[in-house]
Amino acid sequence: MENKLFIARVCTLAGKIMLKCGAETYRVEDTMNRIASAYGLRNAQSFVTPTGINFSTGFADPSNTIRVSGRTTDLQKIAEVNSISRKIDEGDLDAVEAFRLLKAIEKAELAFPEWMQIVAAALLSGCFTIMFNGTWIDFLPACIAGGIGYAVVLTIASMIEVRLIADFFGSFVIALLAVVFIKTGLGAEMDKIIIGAVMPLVPGLLITNAVRDLMAGHLLSGMSKGVEALLTAFAIGSGVAIVLAFL
């Protein structure tokens, strides 16, 4: 019994890390079931939604519920957990060692430093302006607006729990900056600057995940992620719209 419980802890820990880092729901369930069956639990059941995990080792066994709040995007951690579950699957890792490794991954700070993320956001904003047929005059303004906008989102997201507010203020600042650039003559086309600079906020991961989950038959998760993506898009849109409305 003790052993079963420990295996359940390993499974749910792996699932929790993956879910927190933005993995698709079906991958979370799949990983937990694979780990369980590799450790000899043939009848383990898992049910995962974007906000929680339900895992049971078999009939009439205790089932565990893990609440997951606050999702971020961290593809690196997903890859690490995936490689651990591969090793377990191949029989190279016992449960105690796996648990220790997973704990280490959960605590690790693998993210790129914040300044690097802001630089990346700035660069890609400028690039998107060119891709949407903007002129090179607008490259630098879009970079600056995109970088500052993303920095605003990061700062507000660390202060306020509601992610929508951060997106809203981020796109608001971007639109304001674009207007300033046009008025001072530094930029040529306001639309292109705003479109490019807003791109780092676009919920691309949510959209792909929603589709993948829907296709795998996880209707509940697919729908809720789709709604989350829609809400984010709405927040970005209204931030820009408020500035445009006062022009």
Partner 1 sequence: MTIIAQLVTSFIASAGFAILFNAPRRTLLQCGTIGMLGWILYYLLHEHRMDAVAATVIAAILVGVLSQISARVYKIPIIIFNVAGIIPLVPGGLAYNAMRQFVEDDYNLGLQLSTKVMLLSGAIALGLVFSEVAKQFSDRYIFKIKKKSKSRS
146-205 residues near partner 1, rule: CB under 8 A? 150, 191, 194-195, 198-200, 202, 204-205
Asked if residue 79 binds partner 1 (CB under 8 A), the reply is: yes
Assess 51 for contact with partner 1 (CB under 8 A): no
Cα–Cα distance, 65 to 89 (Å, whole number) = 24
* CB nearer to partner 1: pick between 64 and 119: 119
208's CB contacts (< 8 A; 6+ apart) are: none
Query: What is the distance in angstroms between the CA of the first residue and the CA of the last residue of the chain?
Result: 68
Residue 15 as a binder of partner 1 (CB under 8 A): the answer is no
**Cα–Cα separations (whole angstroms), residue 96 to 8, 30, 80, 139:** 12, 21, 17, 53
Told to check if 104 binds partner 1 by CB under 8 A, we report: no
Shortest distance in whole angstroms from residue 25 CB to partner 1:
12
**Region of 9-17, 40-48, 118-126, 156-164 interacting with partner 1 (CB under 8 A):** 118-126
SS3 label, residue 42: coil
Quick check: 177 and 157 in contact, CB under 8 A?
Answer: no
User: 51: which 2 tokens?
Assistant: 């906000």
Q: DSSP H helical segments within 160-218, as ranges?
A: 163-183, 190-198, 204-215
Residue 138 lies near partner 1 (rule: CB under 8 A): no
The answer to whether 182 and 173 are in contact (CB under 8 A) is no
Could you give the CA distance from residue 138 to residue 195 in angstroms, rounded to a whole number? 11
Per-residue contact string for residues 208-247; x = within reach of partner 1 by CB under 8 A: xx-xx--x-----------------x---x--xx--xx--
138: number of Cβ within 10 Å? 28
CB of 63 or CB of 117, closer to partner 1: 117
Nearer residue to partner 1 within complex by CB, 6 or 34: 34
Q: Which residues contact partner 1 by CB under 8 A?
A: 22-24, 27, 30, 34, 73-76, 78-79, 82-83, 86, 89, 110-112, 116-117, 120-121, 123-124, 126-128, 130-132, 150, 191, 194-195, 198-200, 202, 204-205, 207-209, 211-212, 215, 233, 237, 240-241, 244-245
